Structure 1
């Protein structure tokens, strides 16, 4: 009985410590997510194209699925393809590396709403694409978070950035 009481008290202390430490860590993360979310909302509210706003709003949160082209799942190049077709009436190739061949490259500081941004995360050429919005933010189909508005200044994106620009006329 005494041994059971000691085990129970140790378990209670362990659970309390885990709750304390996990809540401390999540506050910072939650605050950061809320700040990032507020900035993303501001970026969205400043879009010039209201149809682009509606399109992104309608797709936000759709999960990533390699080769996907619908609300059950979509990949980055499929998202860029559908966005450009519906919003700008442009036909893009299906793969991100092929999409990169149809842009007029320009510097990041010159990007405008709707320009494409290309990345290489795997080190074997272009393997990801997003669409520039404004204030250093872009929308893309993230492999881990689905369709999301993201901050281009994050180190992971800065390291992987390859080229960007509008689709050629």
Structure 2
């Protein structure tokens, strides 16, 4: 039995869910999201809650049961609160600024990096050393943050680079004479 799958997903006020076949659509104050579940689970909306039940007791059905419930929960959270990732930039001369839909990054390279912000997320740079990524799709927000971080990962000797806020960078000791 899936401990996660057993719990129904509650729909807060202002959020509606509709099921058609294997597709569930969740509407809320921040937008609309939809998810198509596999044929191994059944989706049902009843009493302001979304219930997911497995079809059969195969291993795949049990796996899809918990995963489908988590996907629906993330959609509900996305359309109500949204998701947010914060990045910090550390290094002399390293900075970021928004110009329209393009994030300009100065990262000590021979050229500036122009990062095109995809649809569905908003990127802001409140300070020159901070980047905030927000959106209703958890996967897209995380992927955009990872793509930005990929330009200059934190290095272990001085700690320079782009890191997630609160991320611990294991530091190494340099050469000794």
Q: TM-score range by the shorter chain?
A: under 0.3
Higher relative contact order (CA 8 A, sep 6+): 1
State the TM-score, normalized to the length of structure 2: 0.24
TM-score, normalising length: structure 1: 0.25
